[in-house]
Amino acid sequence: MMKTAEPYTLYVFWISYFSGKMQAYLRYKEIPHRTVEPKWRGELLRTIYPNTGLMKVPVVQTPQGEWLADSTPMIDWFEARYPEGSVIPADPAQAFFCRLVEDYADEWLWRPALHYRWSYATDKHALSRRFAETFLEDPLVPNAVIAALVRRRQNRIYVAGDGVTPETRAHVESIYLDTLDRLQAIFARRPFLLGARPCLADFGFFASMFRHFSLDPTPSVIMQERAPAVFEWVSRLWNARHGAIAGEWCESGTLPSDWQPILDDVGTAYLPYLHANALAWREGRRHFDFEVQGARYRKLPVVQYRVWCRERLQQHFADLPEPARAAVEKRLVAGGALDPLLADGRIASGLYQDLTPPLCRPRQVGGVETLRRFFTGTHWQLP
């Protein structure tokens, strides 16, 4: 295990989707760290932005002064340096499916998580006040005014701006409800997705299930009533420490049969979405229409980061050794996932051309750029 004289510094928002994921991971791995919630006009603008190029969290500052961003590459980075209690199976087929499901959970549950938070009155008022009274606190502007501006902005970008309309709302909510049913069936039988200890896919689902679905008023009630085993799993994973868990994953070379409904969702919805998004990116479009499971989304934003997600999944598949590749291929075909994963080959995102994630490069930030970022932040589509 890598030893550090000083702890890492993890910058988070306590209501943030990916912040909760990184907090749970570092806690589980027992990696020494301190947690800081930055202010918009303080650490975020003056420290995080010039060191990462991003005005968002989670980000990590290492004891050596390096800066890391993007939760999935950060986990890979820590896994290489802290192999004890690994969350990625040594079995290549299991590792691939953990990566696939983690990516699905990270990206496909984003829309319903943001919809429940910013579409329902109780939720959006509670969370906008949380924003106003902590992160965006300004002695010159009343909190009620800041909260109202937050609600308007979040709805414009994350609800209406991400394809949630009266026509698609039922489908968006079905993603959450169906996922609860899939996970309830699993956690009613065993403590974690792959067995007796957490794997990478657990932390992928944790991002939305913790900070959003289990804590925001409306989806929390739904979870407690519809999927109590999922509600219990959220607390179990938050409290888990690898040194205290003696159990193992399921037998090497196998995958639990109750993963199949999730893999079906990946194959029929998420991977076709990634493919359509990548085609739109290649064609230079900013928006695209997409039909899935009987719902038609219009003017979805083209997301460069998700083109990179697809590239990464394709590379993980290409790196599989035989006979694991044949076993993975068979399971992907069963869920309708192989064709959309490989269709049209590799479509380059160009996202990390001069940088290896999760490492960030410090940048000089002038006064004009600082002022602009103060008002706009970093685009949500970036890592």
Q: Could you report the per-residue pLDDT of 57-76, keeping only the tens digit for each?
A: 999 999 999 999 999 999 99
Evaluate if residue 312 carries a pLDDT over 70. Answer: yes
The overall average pLDDT reported for the chain is: 94
* 1: confidence class by pLDDT, cuts 50, 70, 90: low
- Is 330 part of a structural domain of the chain? no
> CA nearest 356: which of 70, 56, 134?
70
Q: What is the pLDDT of residue 135?
A: 84
Pairing of strands 59-61, 8-11: antiparallel
Look at 109-113, 302-306, 339-343, 364-368 and tell me which has the smallest mean pLDDT.
364-368
Look at 77-86, 157-166, 353-362 and tell me which has the smallest mean pLDDT.
353-362
Look at 143-147, 352-356, 369-373 and tell me which has the smallest mean pLDDT.
369-373
Q: What is the pLDDT of residue 193?
A: 98
- Is 120 part of a structural domain of the chain? no
- Is 252 part of a structural domain of the chain? no
- Is 92 part of a structural domain of the chain? no
CB of 180 closer than 8 Å to CB of 227: yes
Q: Residues 6 or more apart from 132 whose CB is under 8 A from it?
A: 143, 144, 146, 147, 150
Instruction: Tell me how far apart the alpha carbons of residues 335 and 325 are, in angstroms, rounded to a whole number.
Output: 15
Q: What is the pLDDT of residue 379?
A: 67
CB of 17 closer than 8 Å to CB of 67: no
Look at 45-59, 108-122, 281-295 and tell me which has the smallest mean pLDDT.
45-59
- Is 161 part of a structural domain of the chain? no
pTM above 0.75, yes or no: yes
Evaluate if residue 191 carries a pLDDT over 70. Answer: yes
- 308's tokens: 């990179």
Evaluate if residue 45 carries a pLDDT over 90. Answer: no
> CA nearest 109: which of 193, 59, 177?
177
**In terms of DSSP H, where are the helices of the chain?**
17-29, 49-52, 71-81, 92-108, 110-119, 121-130, 143-154, 169-187, 200-208, 217-226, 228-239, 260-265, 271-282, 304-318, 324-334, 338-342, 367-376
Instruction: Tell me how far apart the alpha carbons of residues 253 and 251 are, in angstroms, rounded to a whole number.
Output: 6
User: Average pLDDT of 369-381?
Assistant: 63
- Is 60 part of a structural domain of the chain? yes
Q: What is the pLDDT of residues 204-243, one digit of tens each?
A: 999 999 999 999 999 999 999 999 999 999 999 999 999 9
User: Average pLDDT of 338-355?
Assistant: 95
Q: What is the pLDDT of residue 137?
A: 74
The count of domains in the chain is 1
- Is 48 part of a structural domain of the chain? yes
Which CATH number does the domain housing residue 360 bear? 3.40.30.10
Q: What is the pLDDT of residue 378?
A: 66
Query: What range does the domain containing 41 cover?
Result: 1-84+353-383
- Is 225 part of a structural domain of the chain? no
Evaluate if residue 179 carries a pLDDT over 60. Answer: yes
User: Average pLDDT of 88-94?
Assistant: 98
Q: What is the pLDDT of residue 229?
A: 99
HSE-CB for 115 with a 13 A CA cutoff: 21
CB of 23 closer than 8 Å to CB of 207: no
Q: What is the pLDDT of residue 372?
A: 67
Q: Is 291 helix (H, G, I), strand (E, B) or coil?
A: strand
Q: What is the pLDDT of residue 367?
A: 63
> CA nearest 315: which of 284, 281, 283, 347?
347
Pairing of strands 287-292, 59-61: unpaired
